[in-house]
Amino acid sequence: MRQLLLATVLMVGAVAAFAAGRVLLVPSAGQVLGDLQPMQAIVTDVQGIVGSGDLDRAATRITDLETAWDDAEAEMRPKSPEAWGRVDDAIDAALSSLRAETPDAAAASAALAGVQQAMTDPGADSTGGPVDVEGILVTDATGHPLPCEAMLSSIRDKRTGRAAVADAAALDDLVAKATERCNADDDRNADAFSAKALKLLGQG
């Protein structure tokens, strides 16, 4: 009887050790890129601010997320470029939403929920359908941003040989912002500015 109890204890212990080993060796979905909880806490904070209706303060607070994410890129991106890209796309969408000329609380809330989902399971393919800004497509059919260089080229082509634009100063400002974000490899925000520039040029 004593031997049977000992065997049972040993077996249970072995199973528990095996399970613990799997937990340690096989990272959960949220650990693919490392510890994202501090960044998720910022997202939660921004969601609360959006819920209060203070979109200006939300836009300021989300800059902390942008900074933390950019600072962690060198460490996180090599672990899983695909997972990193999915979270990066979600963050870009939230930034674009809150930094829009006329931000919308519902759209910002949806974008922030997308960030939380992407950070909870960065390994899952969460791309959606095509997205447009001002009626102009800024992504491909799967929801990935179009190359910002191509959109800037479209602006140059459409502007070449054209008579003076009614609001040239606004157009120049949008092109400058699109170029700056494009140089920073921020295609999503660059494309949003480019779409608004193309709208001024009569496309859409």
Query: In the 3-class helix/strand/coil scheme, how is 24-68 assigned residue by residue?
Result: HHCCCHHHCCCCCHHHHHHHHHHHHHHHHCCHHHHHHHHHHHHHH
Return the pLDDT at 13.
Answer: 45
Confidence of residue 163 (pLDDT cuts 50, 70, 90): low
Confidence of residue 125 (pLDDT cuts 50, 70, 90): low
Q: How far is CA 41 from CA 37, 53, 108, in A?
A: 6, 19, 16
**Range 160-177 average pLDDT:** 81
Chain segment 15-71, per-residue pLDDT in tens? 344 333 433 333 444 468 889 999 999 999 999 999 999 999 999 999 999 999 999
Does the pLDDT value for residue 95 go beyond 60? yes
Choose among 67, 45, 69, 70: nearest CA to 58.
45
Quick check: helix, strand or coil at residue 145?
strand
Q: How far is CA 4 from CA 10, 18, 65, in A?
A: 10, 21, 56
pTM metric for this prediction: 0.52
